[in-house]
Structure 1
Amino acid sequence: MSRRVLLHVGTPKTGTSYLQDVLFHNPEVLAEAGIRYPAERFDAHFLAALDLMRMPWGGLETEAVGAWDALARAVREHDGTAVVSHEILANADRAQVRRALASLGHGDGTEVHLVVSVRDLVRQIPAEWQENVKHRATLSYAAFLEQVRDPERTGRIGSWFWGVQEVPSILDRWAADLPPEQVHVVTVPPPGADPGLLWQRFVTAFELDGVELDLTTDRSNPSLGVPETALVRRINRAANQHLPPAHYRPLVRELVAHRTLSARTDSPRLGLPPELADWVADLERSWIAEIRERGYRVVGDLDDLVGDAPGEWTDPDCPDEAEVAEAAVDALRAVLVETAAVGEERDRLRGELEETRAALEAAYSRPVQRGKEKVVRTLEGSLPGQQVLRVYRSLKPGDSGA
């Protein structure tokens, strides 16, 4: 049974992908420190979260069946500190939270610590719309904002957004049965801060001081600018009905968005419309007051939850068409280069297959040919045999050897 579990439940767009990738690629180093991040594959905790919450996710939910119980079992079997981390856990309801905590050993001798990483709404609102777009969504930014501001929160967009972003509600659900000293709120530093500061805060929250982790990672969730996001949205509208989810992720989300368009860092950034600044600021200040009153352990500064005033506003629903066209050319070039590389690899594999087939045929034909030659020699040694051969050859004029 684990003595301690560090349970990280989000929120999205707070450095979670980087943290998870570092933990996944350092199992030996973590083990030396008595820490286990149980994962046989990089998305193991994501699948476990899908399973726990019974969430549909482009067909992956069928692959996820049993994943939470497997993860919880691996946690309980570890004698030390175990880490569980995925941001969609933020949306778990109270029944799912109770099941999760109990399965991890809460109430049975295991000290469960909750970690929630948070970022200001000025950045989170446009980031969530962009994530929707990178997951095949076609709705406009204006429509997204309208659903987010709907006080009923009955629509899919509003329900999901506040489920994973309303920090006091997340803490209500996940921390209700935990003492405040076992609840850690990690704040994302403001824009312009030292890039390594957030990682240092994670190190403090997860007690990784002195653990020499390799911080090299090839997984991240980079942001896109205004014209790039507008382009992906247009691709979704044109291609969704023709491109199944299994192909969308590697081609659009990974190749086009993450590996190509995210490199265009000089384009206008997504932001919050100026008219929403006061509404957002009031929400942020109310959250800070609630968190401060509850006495949780804060890693960072709660004032980081107050976002900067919106700067120059570029409406992603009416982007500069020349910038969108430039982004489209970059995306098309990337697809062409990838297609050529795939073609070359296909030709190489086809050549290897032909060589293998020829070798197998040669290996098979040698004993067969030797057998045929032996039969011919036997038949030629007798008159009846010679007659049989003549009849056979008359029926197969193209074969004079047998």
Structure 2
Amino acid sequence: MSVVYVHIGLPKTGTTHLQDRLWRNRDLAMRSSGLLYPGDVISDHFHAAVHLQPERYLDWVDPAFARKWPTLLAQMKAWPQTSLLSHELYATATPEHIATLVDDLSFADEVHVIATVRDLARQLPSVWQENIKNQREATFDEFLASVHTCGPALPGFVAPTDGAVEEPFWEFQDYIRILADWAQAVGPERVHVVTVPTRRDTPGDNLWERFLRVLDVEPAALTIPVPSLNSSLSAAQAEFLRQLNHRLQPTEVAWQRYERVIKGQLIGEILFEAPNGAPRGLTSDQRTWIAHTADEMIGEVRSAGYRVSGDLGDLAVSRLAAGDALPPTVQDVLDVALDTMAEMVKVAPLPAVGPRWKTRAMNIVRRIRRRALGVRRSL
């Protein structure tokens, strides 16, 4: 039977780790479990997701990659068993986009959807950091205030209409609305929620194993590991970057330069490699409303009848602050700024030196001027 699973994220739920591990083990997965992870390169899944939503991801839609989706589709059509698509940008697909994708997959006997979901207490600081890495300027408290005001699609919630700027969060983290949109297209019985564990010391119950359980794939057969990469900034590092963003807005710095210099070098090669502390955490007051929101969202998932791999209790938020990092001091941020500047100086290419003849000529001119000035003063 031909079955296609569409992993839609959510972003910041371990998706990059899962995708990297799936890609490296794709040949083993095909031989051992009949799972096809299609594509010629791993980025094919990204291009398929953005070309599904061209108006949403206009800056990333490149005509040179327009054939990536037809190629993935052809590979899945030729495979008689289980296929998997995976990219977190599917989380922002509208019902119209979803209908288009499901129609393209109509060759399959069944289409299933997988959403990896993590608790709000970990998601909120993580998403705020990701926003900061993409030229956003809002403080953590401003970000949380926006999240609180705008809210998820829960019964009785009315979104504000005052025109205030909404910080990016619910558009790709409101798993109540996102799951409902996909369930309308494939049926709630074919929607799978994989919860990100709160504990990492339980054998046989990590995110990778919970995810493969949905696909009926044996983890033991997929033996190629992936490196564990640090992708979190300390509270001081994030605040340094946020303040730096005030001087690096899109009107002043093109995205291509920001992506290469700030994301690639400053963040990827310097901040991630530096000794750092804990990221920003939540206050007790913030935890109160976040925990209440999480409880309501968990209730909606439970009543919707989706299949769950893991434990919905992993999505609950404790109302007690426990070791959450406090806002950094001015000195903390200054130390990060100076350390970062020092590292950039160490690796920066040396400035080009002019021709030696030009340097010698300028030195001769300077000596003649000094002598002439000395003669005039002696007179």
Fold match by TM threshold 0.5: yes
Identify the residue that residue 188 of structure 1 maps to in structure 2: 196
Map 1:4-19 → 2, pairs under 5 A = 4-19=3-18
Do residues 47 (structure 1) and 51 (structure 2) align?
A: no
The structure carrying a bigger helix percent of its residues is: 1
User: Kindly tell me: are residues 115 and 153 of structure 1, through their superposed partners in 2, closer, same or farther at Cα, counting changes over 3 Å?
Assistant: farther
Do residues 282 (structure 1) and 281 (structure 2) align?
A: no
Contact 2:128 2:143 in 1 (8 A): yes
Identify the residue that residue 162 of structure 1 maps to in structure 2: 170
| Structure 2 residue identity aligned to 1:204 | R
Cα distance in 1 between the residues matched to 2:280 and 2:120: 13
Identify the residue that residue 36 of structure 2 maps to in structure 1: 36
Shift of 1:199: 1.8
Cα distance in 1 between the residues matched to 2:184 and 2:302: 16
Identify the residue that residue 242 of structure 2 maps to in structure 1: 233
Identify the residue that residue 208 of structure 2 maps to in structure 1: 199
Identify the residue that residue 269 of structure 1 maps to in structure 2: 279
Contact 2:135 2:248 in 1 (8 A): no
Identify the residue that residue 299 of structure 1 maps to in structure 2: 309
Shift of 1:304: 0.5
User: Kindly tell me: are residues 306 and 104 of structure 1, through their superposed partners in 2, closer, same or farther at Cα, counting changes over 3 Å?
Assistant: same
User: Kindly tell me: are residues 268 and 23 of structure 1, through their superposed partners in 2, closer, same or farther at Cα, counting changes over 3 Å?
Assistant: closer
Aligned partner of residue 61 in structure 2, secondary structure: helix
Pairwise CA RMSD of aligned residues?
2.9
Identify the residue that residue 98 of structure 1 maps to in structure 2: 99
Identify the residue that residue 121 of structure 2 maps to in structure 1: 122
Contact 2:10 2:172 in 1 (8 A): yes
Contact 1:186 1:300 in 2 (8 A): yes
User: Kindly tell me: are residues 248 and 4 of structure 1, through their superposed partners in 2, closer, same or farther at Cα, counting changes over 3 Å?
Assistant: same
**Equivalences, count:** 337
Cα distance in 1 between the residues matched to 2:239 and 2:299: 36
Identify the residue that residue 324 of structure 1 maps to in structure 2: 333
User: Kindly tell me: are residues 267 and 159 of structure 1, through their superposed partners in 2, closer, same or farther at Cα, counting changes over 3 Å?
Assistant: closer
User: Kindly tell me: are residues 263 and 190 of structure 1, through their superposed partners in 2, closer, same or farther at Cα, counting changes over 3 Å?
Assistant: farther
Instruction: Name the % identity.
Output: 29
Contact 1:91 1:160 in 2 (8 A): no
Shift of 1:137: 1.1
User: Kindly tell me: are residues 313 and 22 of structure 1, through their superposed partners in 2, closer, same or farther at Cα, counting changes over 3 Å?
Assistant: closer
| Structure 1 residue identity aligned to 2:197 | P
Shift of 1:259: 3.6
| Structure 1 residue identity aligned to 2:130 | E
Shift of 1:114: 1.0
Cα distance in 1 between the residues matched to 2:165 and 2:225: 34
Identify the residue that residue 132 of structure 1 maps to in structure 2: 131
Contact 1:119 1:304 in 2 (8 A): yes
Cα distance in 2 between the residues matched to 1:177 and 1:89: 14
Identify the residue that residue 322 of structure 2 maps to in structure 1: 311
Map 1:367-382 → 2, pairs under 5 A = none
Identify the residue that residue 211 of structure 1 maps to in structure 2: 221
Shift of 1:160: 4.4
Spell out, residue by residue over 1:71-124, the C-alpha distance to the aligned partner (whole angstroms, 9 max, x if none).
33333233322111111211211111111111122xx44311211110111111
Cα distance in 2 between the residues matched to 1:67 and 1:235: 37
Aligned partner of residue 5 in structure 1, secondary structure: strand
Aligned partner of residue 176 in structure 1, secondary structure: helix
Contact 2:120 2:317 in 1 (8 A): yes
Cα distance in 2 between the residues matched to 1:58 and 1:259: 28
- Structure 2 gaps of 5+ residues are 151-158, 353-379
Contact 2:17 2:226 in 1 (8 A): no
User: Kindly tell me: are residues 182 and 58 of structure 1, through their superposed partners in 2, closer, same or farther at Cα, counting changes over 3 Å?
Assistant: closer
